[in-house]
Structure 1
Amino acid sequence: MERGDKKPNAGFPPHAANPLFKRSERELVRSGRYVCHGHKAGFKELPCQRQSREVKKRPIMRDKTRSSSGSAPMTGASSARAGGRRHSPARGWLKEQGGLARRNARHVILLGLTGTTLAVGQAWCLAAVFGGTLGQAMVGGLPYAMAFLGIAAIRAFLGAMTERYAAAAGAAARRRLRDQVMARLLAIGPSLLRGYHSAELAAIAVDRIEALDGFFSRWVPAASLAILSPALILLAILPLDWRAALALLAAGLLVPFGMALSGIGAAVASRRQFVAMSRLQARFLDRVRGIATIVLSGRTEDEAIALGRAADELRRRTMRVLRVAFLSSAVLDLAMAAALVGLALHYGQAILSGQAGHPARALFVLLLVPEFFAPLRVFSLAYQDKMHATGAAEAIAALPEPPEKPVLQVRTIEARGVTVTFDHVSLVWDETRGPALHDVSFRIPAGETVVLAGPSGSGKSSIMEVLLGFTRPTSGRVALNGMDITDIVPAALSRLTAWVGQKPMLFAGTIRDNILFARPEASEQDLLDAIRHAHVDDFARALPDGLETMIGEGGYGLSGGQAQRVAIARAYLRNAPLLLLDEPTSHLDPVTEADILDSLKRLAVGRTVLLASHSAAAHAFPGHRIDLRDGSVVSAPFPTMYGKVMA
């Protein structure tokens, strides 16, 4: 895309693009709304900046609604004010996701309750056996011992099944969330995502969702079992000794209170950890991309030291999270030890005074104390997963909202010819910088070729982005064959359009795979025709493996002209009626440019073509011309929808 268009940070307020805009890290962490932007040319690090509330954000949607992409549904809790207190969108989103995941965790909860019931029976059998050896006549101790061993085997089997179901629930939740996040990113489009660093987007789709595994596999079932399992044990103890049941209840209530106190620090520590992780990821990716500049500038040692400091900062913040986790575990251990010691002293004195009754009863209660605290211990460990998930969810919840899905959707459109109409279209990327497009009106009849001419910043690339469906106009109407472009579903719009930009995106793989990316189901003959028309075979024959030659990410191993020919072959294979060419020869030498333009002329036959370029050679492309200046049309060759010809 053309760098001159007025959209330096599409969809974001001016301070998000201003490297001088800084906020304290404490404020960023408290707000929970941070976006770590990349480090741009010259390797000047931009601060992790809080996104403005002017940009509407919401977390992943409930299953009741669907996103504009027609993919997995996404919604979430808005950051509303209730009782004067602003609630975190991430917490609301996690609450919704917990409700969805609880249905998948029903097997884990049921197995946990079954295990608790068996633990009560196992404790009774053990108390019966040892109660008999203590001098109280217990008839048939061997059956109790056999029952104890049998229950132990069953509990071990249930424990393995619980782990299996929990892992499956976590994997299913992560798979569902990844699908939804990718659908959200695709629905948002590259325009609104331009303010995000690519390392951050990769972290959201991979690391952040991976960090939610403990929330779904451990926290969701543990939150239910922490209430149900202790209650079941208290019901077993209550008929035997209500005082012991009351003491355990009091000790159990202290555990969530202590966890709540430590949880405040855990949430803040987790957020700071993810801030440091985002910073390190963005810095590392930028340094890898700019390694040649670093070496030529003699900054290798300085950058290595800076990376080491960023890594050390992440290490220190990770250790702070672990310290908070150890504190929470210590509170639980203290409560369990106090309850166990207190009950042991109570029953010891009662036995010595002859008031304890049957020793098996006292032993039964004491054996159930660890079982009472076992689900609380799991809950305490899972609570750290929840705090970790809260920090991870902040970035997911802060993703901008995709365009609203139209009420009327056009799923099919005549593909034999496309007439493009712009009717008083205006587009504003940034309120402080003026419109990128202002009252633009023109019409391109089906099968015609039009060259967009104008200086940098005149709006050429903005027109391209509107036609590609990457953004919607602020006002006015864009129509294809009379149908509003905002009413056409993305899949139908994609089938209509082929695009060749100034720097084609080639993926790591073979040349064949990169061409077939445009239409994977294409026949071998269609592929060969596209290769021949784009003259890819001219250089592919000289490569060791021909079309099966592996190329690196970004087209590594191919020259600029060769990469552009692969992009043209994609467009041929796409065989779409609307061809958009955005500076396709901007970085090529004159000889290569002439060859590329010759291939594009053949590709343009029978198609509606819009070519944006500064090149004088491209301006000589057969067709008509629309001149732009400051986002407005200066002259256009065809009558608009009102029958007027632009002067």
Structure 2
Amino acid sequence: MPKARRGGDAASALLQREARAARGRLRVPVGLGLSQVAVGIAQAWLIAGLIATLLGFGAAGWPALGAVAALALLSAGLGVAQERALLAAGEAAKARLRGAAFERLLAQGAEDTRGVGDRAALVVDRIEALEGFLTRWLPAAALAIAGPLLVTGAAFTVDATSGAILLVAALLVPVAMAVTGIGAAQASKRQFAALDLLSGRFLDRMRGLPTLVLFRRQEAEAQALGRAAEDLRQRTMRVLRVAFLSSASMEALAAGAIACLAIRHGAILGQNHPDPAGAIFCLLLVPALFTPLRAFSQAYHERMGARGAAAELAPLLEAEAPGGLKLEEMPARLVVSFQDVRLSYDPTRPPALDGLTFRALPGETLVLAGPSGAGKSSILRLLMGFRRPDAGRISLNGQDATKLAPSELRRLSSYVGQRAHLFRGSIRENIALARPGATPAEVEAAATAARVTDFAKALPQGLETLVGEGGYGLSGGQAQRVAIARAFLRDTPLVLLDEPTAHLDPGTEAEVLDSLRRLCTGRTAIIASHSRAAQRSLGRVLEIEGGRVPGSRMAGE
């Protein structure tokens, strides 16, 4: 089967599955939309009576005018309630999709070859596009069928010919949309591809900006980003042109329906029209007829965009989770052994690990030392299940670690990197992320062990003090101690640390090292660090050069 067809089938299957999942939440907004259409029909009938009275063909008065005002307020209230219901449904759908996408990305780990920018665009932009499909297209599609049926039914009760005119106008809308929709689908797909290119390239280049400046490539990359942005602008304009064409076709049909009704009733209105109010009512039904159809037309482009987004998301969401064994119980102590382990990221470059052999015993702290690129971070990636070795054996308590599911490997360890990322929320909430089910007492104990409470006491609300995204409001050392508190709260037999005291001044580094010593006590700890202070005070030092171990020395030697 051609690749494009397989992708289209996967996208259709994903959209159908999400539509079924969202169906229950969409019943309320669809019902509110139908109620709004019914209110619009009632308004049209009352307004028709008022206009006929002004023309001398009726006897409507102030009660009818009051009823019109009341119905206007009711329609506005129904519209607000519908928007809130759709918003709630959209948030629930996005949360479900993002949870599934993050779970798949985490399960795939480094086996996913997409760049960071591409992954971010996939989880953010693609799922936002699917929200439009779920909260605008699906309700609009239902209302585009039921709404015009209500309106034409009301017109048929007054004048069969007028009802037929409105019915034909409603049936022509899908035809016009199909003609313009073919171009919209292609334009939207190309626009998403251009957006992916720009967002992924921008994020990756921002992350590597120091390197670009070092090699004097900043101007060339700025020009490349400018070309990608211009390509996105042109493709976006093409999508807008197609959208405007669709809107123009809708307005032409509405104008045609009004003209036909005006010709029919205008020809006999001056010849003792049997029902002047009914004639005006039929004319006023045109806006009520085309309101759900306009929403349907606008949402049609959401469907086209969602199909392109689903084609990108489907391979990720439908990918099988990596296999592996599950742990029956968490071991209390852990022996980590590497035996002739080899790992290569690029066949054209030297291997990251080239026959690495070492052992870390229970309760031992092993500090990995060596120049940048020696393979220290690769060891941590292997132990967290983000990479699989090309050759050799990694064992945990004598058992082959590669037979475990990657998620189980991560469950065994607590990780603290160079820079702790804190989310917008309280300090307590940021610590509790490590184990959401932890009790307040357990979070307090972890904060005390990591000496978070030492600085939290001076804050306005202690552990309840809010911090900004990225740890705004805390120093680098304070944020690092929050990360160490997370590791205390996870309470795993293996602790993995990657340059935990980098970018800290000597005084702050000493405080963080004190917290790290308490964290590593009784646990197997493997620390990658250039810091001389860490190498002197934390444990046994293992020198690594070129992915091998030329020798080792004890701390303090």
The two structures share one fold, judged by TM-score above 0.5? yes
Q: Is the 8 A contact 1:509 1:550 kept in 2?
A: yes
**Aligned 1:13-32 pairs, distance under 5 A:** none
Displacement of 1:217 in angstroms is: 3.4
Where 1:399 maps in the other structure, the secondary structure is helix
- Decide which of 142, 167, 170 is 1:249's aligned counterpart: 167
**Aligned 1:565-580 pairs, distance under 5 A:** 575-580=491-496
Displacement of 1:348 in angstroms is: 2.9
Displacement of 1:412 in angstroms is: 3.5
Displacement of 1:259 in angstroms is: 1.1
With over 3 angstroms needed to count, the CA separation of the structure-2 counterparts of 1:108 and 1:580, relative to structure 1, is closer
With over 3 angstroms needed to count, the CA separation of the structure-2 counterparts of 1:237 and 1:423, relative to structure 1, is farther
- Decide which of 248, 251, 276 is 1:359's aligned counterpart: 276
Name whichever of 333-342 and 118-127 sits farther off: 118-127
Aligned to 1:322: 240
Where 1:579 maps in the other structure, the secondary structure is strand
Aligned to 2:33: 112
**Aligned 1:178-197 pairs, distance under 5 A:** 178-189=95-106, 190-193=109-112, 195-197=114-116
Displacement of 1:601 in angstroms is: 7.3
Q: Is the 8 A contact 1:413 1:492 kept in 2?
A: no
With over 3 angstroms needed to count, the CA separation of the structure-2 counterparts of 1:160 and 1:407, relative to structure 1, is farther
Q: Is the 8 A contact 1:499 1:580 kept in 2?
A: yes
Q: Is the 8 A contact 1:233 1:368 kept in 2?
A: yes
Aligned to 2:381: 465
Displacement of 1:378 in angstroms is: 1.7
Q: Answer yes or no: is 1:340 the counterpart of 2:261.
A: no
**Aligned 1:498-517 pairs, distance under 5 A:** 498-500=414-416, 503-507=418-422
Displacement of 1:523 in angstroms is: 5.8
C-alpha separation between the residues in 1 aligned to 2:105 and 2:185? 29
Aligned to 1:10: none
Q: Is the 8 A contact 2:132 2:302 kept in 1?
A: yes
With over 3 angstroms needed to count, the CA separation of the structure-2 counterparts of 1:585 and 1:125, relative to structure 1, is closer
C-alpha separation between the residues in 1 aligned to 2:473 and 2:217? 24
Q: Is the 8 A contact 1:425 1:475 kept in 2?
A: yes
C-alpha separation between the residues in 2 aligned to 1:85 and 1:493? 34
**Aligned 1:83-482 pairs, distance under 5 A:** 87=8, 89-128=10-49, 130-131=51-52, 141-142=59-60, 146-147=63-64, 149-189=66-106, 190-193=109-112, 195-198=114-117, 200-285=118-203, 288-289=206-207, 310-351=228-269, 357-399=274-316, 404=321, 409-410=326-327, 412-415=329-332, 417-420=333-336, 446-447=362-363, 464-471=380-387, 480=396
**Aligned 1:33-112 pairs, distance under 5 A:** 87=8, 89-112=10-33
Displacement of 1:629 in angstroms is: 9.0
Where 2:386 maps in the other structure, the secondary structure is coil
C-alpha separation between the residues in 2 aligned to 1:135 and 1:544? 76
Q: Is the 8 A contact 2:367 2:538 kept in 1?
A: yes
Q: Answer yes or no: is 1:497 the counterpart of 2:413.
A: yes
Displacement of 1:240 in angstroms is: 4.6
Q: Is the 8 A contact 1:174 1:210 kept in 2?
A: no
C-alpha separation between the residues in 1 aligned to 2:392 and 2:165? 71
* Number of residue pairs matched by the alignment: 541
With over 3 angstroms needed to count, the CA separation of the structure-2 counterparts of 1:486 and 1:359, relative to structure 1, is farther
Aligned to 2:554: none
With over 3 angstroms needed to count, the CA separation of the structure-2 counterparts of 1:184 and 1:370, relative to structure 1, is closer
Where 1:105 maps in the other structure, the secondary structure is helix
C-alpha separation between the residues in 2 aligned to 1:172 and 1:289? 35
With over 3 angstroms needed to count, the CA separation of the structure-2 counterparts of 1:170 and 1:485, relative to structure 1, is farther
Identity %: 43
Q: Is the 8 A contact 1:208 1:393 kept in 2?
A: yes
Once the two structures are superposed, what CA deviation does each residue of 1:451-490 show, in whole Å capped at 9, x if it has no partner?
8899999976555334323356799997655788689788
C-alpha separation between the residues in 1 aligned to 2:234 and 2:211? 30
With over 3 angstroms needed to count, the CA separation of the structure-2 counterparts of 1:366 and 1:554, relative to structure 1, is closer
Q: 1 or 2, which has the higher helix percentage?
A: 2
C-alpha separation between the residues in 1 aligned to 2:318 and 2:394? 22
Displacement of 1:224 in angstroms is: 0.5
Displacement of 1:252 in angstroms is: 1.9
Q: Is the 8 A contact 2:342 2:390 kept in 1?
A: yes
Once the two structures are superposed, what CA deviation does each residue of 1:369-423 show, in whole Å capped at 9, x if it has no partner?
33222211121122233334344445444537665276975463232x1244789
**Amino acid paired to 1:578:** L
TM-score with structure 1 setting the length: 0.63
**Amino acid paired to 2:184:** A
With over 3 angstroms needed to count, the CA separation of the structure-2 counterparts of 1:357 and 1:477, relative to structure 1, is farther
Q: Is the 8 A contact 2:423 2:468 kept in 1?
A: yes
With over 3 angstroms needed to count, the CA separation of the structure-2 counterparts of 1:130 and 1:478, relative to structure 1, is same
Q: Is the 8 A contact 1:506 1:554 kept in 2?
A: yes
With over 3 angstroms needed to count, the CA separation of the structure-2 counterparts of 1:173 and 1:192, relative to structure 1, is farther
Aligned to 1:35: none
Q: Is the 8 A contact 1:427 1:435 kept in 2?
A: yes
With over 3 angstroms needed to count, the CA separation of the structure-2 counterparts of 1:155 and 1:428, relative to structure 1, is farther
Displacement of 1:117 in angstroms is: 2.8
Displacement of 1:577 in angstroms is: 2.0
Displacement of 1:226 in angstroms is: 0.5
C-alpha separation between the residues in 1 aligned to 2:407 and 2:150? 54
Q: Is the 8 A contact 2:36 2:78 kept in 1?
A: no
C-alpha separation between the residues in 2 aligned to 1:123 and 1:511? 54
Displacement of 1:230 in angstroms is: 0.9
Displacement of 1:318 in angstroms is: 3.0
**Amino acid paired to 1:332:** M
Displacement of 1:245 in angstroms is: 3.0
C-alpha separation between the residues in 1 aligned to 2:122 and 2:5? 31
Q: Answer yes or no: is 1:607 the counterpart of 2:526.
A: no
Q: Is the 8 A contact 2:35 2:78 kept in 1?
A: no
Displacement of 1:131 in angstroms is: 5.0
Displacement of 1:273 in angstroms is: 3.2
C-alpha separation between the residues in 2 aligned to 1:233 and 1:311? 45
With over 3 angstroms needed to count, the CA separation of the structure-2 counterparts of 1:241 and 1:577, relative to structure 1, is same
Displacement of 1:602 in angstroms is: 7.4
Displacement of 1:334 in angstroms is: 0.8
C-alpha separation between the residues in 2 aligned to 1:115 and 1:555? 46
C-alpha separation between the residues in 1 aligned to 2:119 and 2:97? 14
C-alpha separation between the residues in 2 aligned to 1:426 and 1:477? 9
CA RMSD of superposed structures (Å): 5.6
Where 2:316 maps in the other structure, the secondary structure is coil
Displacement of 1:333 in angstroms is: 0.9
Aligned to 1:69: none
Displacement of 1:110 in angstroms is: 1.4
Q: Is the 8 A contact 1:409 1:487 kept in 2?
A: no
Where 1:238 maps in the other structure, the secondary structure is helix
C-alpha separation between the residues in 2 aligned to 1:113 and 1:552? 42
Q: Is the 8 A contact 1:226 1:376 kept in 2?
A: yes
Displacement of 1:332 in angstroms is: 0.8
C-alpha separation between the residues in 2 aligned to 1:526 and 1:88? 49
